[in-house]
Amino acid sequence: MTRDELEDLIRKAEVIRGVSLAGADLRGAKLSGGIFEDVDFVRANLAGADFRQSILTGCRLNGTRIAGADFSKTVVASTSFERAGGARARFREAQVAGCDFSNATIPEADFTTGSFARCDFEGAHLAGAQLELASVVDCRTLGLVLSGARLEGTIFIGADLTRSPIDGARFRRTSLIKARLAGCDLRGIALPTCQLLEADLTGSDLSQADLSQCGLSGAILEAARLDGARLSQAVLAKARLAGASLKGADLSQATMIEADVTGADLTGARLYQTIATQLKAAGARFGNADFTYADFSHADLERADLGGVRFFRTNLHEIRDAGANIPSRRGVLPPDSDRTTADRWHARWQAPRQ
């Protein structure tokens, strides 16, 4: 099939089905609005081709040249772009499912507001790509290169980024839900206002990172390094930080309800107005930390070291402190007997009835 014949069929709204265009020169071809089913584009030159608002199902674009090609507002399913190459391809507002982009090299591509589900991006090079407001859900992402990418408002769910270069990437209001980042070197990374709900950051180095206003509920940060990290107004409810190092970290106005910092080192940390009710902090080290206006009601501080801690209107209501080192409680709020009575009444009525 010639290029002219192909464009004519598309103008007539004919479905392009089962055709081989392998190795064809389709540079700048006008294919907008086409319906392609089981079409072979392997090693074709599609540079600058216009696929806008097309539908591609079961097609093969392995090894194609797609520099500057426009796939905006396409619907693409079960199609392979494996080892496709070319800068500045556009997938704006594309809806893509079950497709293979493994080992594709498409730097500076535009994926803005695109939707990608169950796709394979392993080893793909998207350096400098624009992914603002795009969603990447249940995709294979091991080795995905995102250096210099713009990820403002991007949603990743279940992404494995443990081997992904992300240097220079811009994160803001990015969602990395259930992302895998264990053991990564993330020193100084800026992730303000991002959501890392239930993300696995076990053993990662986040020293001096900006995690202000981050959602880290249920995140796994066991044995992670967060020395000097900015976590002001972050939400760490039920986060797992056992054995982590948070020396000098800023946790002011953070929410740490039911978080686990067992055996963690928070020496010199700032916990100004921090809400840490029911905190699990047995054996934790808080030397010279700032607990001004902090609420540690019902926290487990057994065997914790609070030497040199600054207290000012700090709430230690009903804490467990057996074996804890608390040299002075000056600045701690006095016991609230009415609240204790209310707590016990509440516990009695919450207990399972026989």
pLDDT band at 315 (very low <50, low <70, confident <90, very high): very high
Strands (E), the chain: 15-17, 35-37, 55-57, 75-77, 95-97, 115-117, 135-137, 155-157, 175-177
The per-residue pLDDT for 338 is 78
Whether the predicted pLDDT of 34 surpasses 80: yes
What is the distance between the alpha carbons of residues 263 and 240, in angstroms, rounded to a whole number?
11
Residue 7, Cβ density class (10 Å: 0-12 exposed, 13-18 middle, ≥19 buried) = middle
What value, to the nearest 5°, has the Cα angle with vertex 187 and ends 289 and 272? 25
**Residue 256 CA to chain centroid, in angstroms?**
19
Whether the predicted pLDDT of 273 surpasses 60: yes
The per-residue pLDDT for 342 is 80
HSE value, Cβ hemisphere, 13 Å, CA-based, for 95:
5
Residues 150-201 have pLDDT tens digits of: 999 999 999 999 999 999 999 999 999 999 999 999 999 999 999 999 999 9
Q: Which helix (H) or strand (E) segment is 9 a member of?
A: helix 3-11
What is the distance between the alpha carbons of residues 14 and 240, in angstroms, rounded to a whole number?
57
pLDDT band at 354 (very low <50, low <70, confident <90, very high): low
How many C-beta neighbours within 10 Å does residue 4 have? 9
What is the distance between the alpha carbons of residues 70 and 106, in angstroms, rounded to a whole number?
12
Whether the predicted pLDDT of 349 surpasses 80: no
For the chain, the first-to-last Cα distance in angstroms comes to 79
Task: Retrieve residue 144's tokens.
Answer: 């995905």
What is the distance between the alpha carbons of residues 159 and 176, in angstroms, rounded to a whole number?
7
Residues 86-134 have pLDDT tens digits of: 999 999 999 999 999 999 999 999 999 999 999 999 999 999 999 999 9
| Count of all residues that appear for the chain in the document | 354
How many C-beta neighbours within 10 Å does residue 290 have? 21
- The pLDDT > 90 percentage for the chain reads 93
The per-residue pLDDT for 337 is 78
The per-residue pLDDT for 341 is 80
What is the distance between the alpha carbons of residues 142 and 155, in angstroms, rounded to a whole number?
16
HSE value, Cβ hemisphere, 13 Å, CA-based, for 79:
26
- The pLDDT > 70 percentage for the chain reads 99
Q: What is the DSSP string of 143-195?
A: T-B-TT-B-TT-EEES-B-TT---TT-B-SS-EEET-B-TT-B-TT-B-TT-B
DSSP 164: -
- Tell me the pLDDT of the chain averaged across its residues: 96
**Beta pairing partners, 195:** 175, 215
Confidence (pTM):
0.90
**Beta pairing partners, 215:** 195, 235
The per-residue pLDDT for 353 is 62
The per-residue pLDDT for 1 is 79
What value, to the nearest 5°, has the Cα angle with vertex 128 and ends 126 and 132? 90
Whether the predicted pLDDT of 347 surpasses 80: no
**Beta pairing partners, 275:** 255, 295
The per-residue pLDDT for 191 is 96
Q: Is 349 helix (H, G, I), strand (E, B) or coil?
A: helix
Report whether 163 contacts 181 (CB < 8 A): no
What is the distance between the alpha carbons of residues 165 and 126, in angstroms, rounded to a whole number?
10
Q: Which residue in the block uniquely carries the two structure tokens 């007997």?
A: 337
Average confidence (pLDDT) over 257-261? 98
The per-residue pLDDT for 244 is 98
Whether the predicted pLDDT of 23 surpasses 80: yes
What is the distance between the alpha carbons of residues 150 and 120, in angstroms, rounded to a whole number?
20
How many C-beta neighbours within 10 Å does residue 175 have? 20
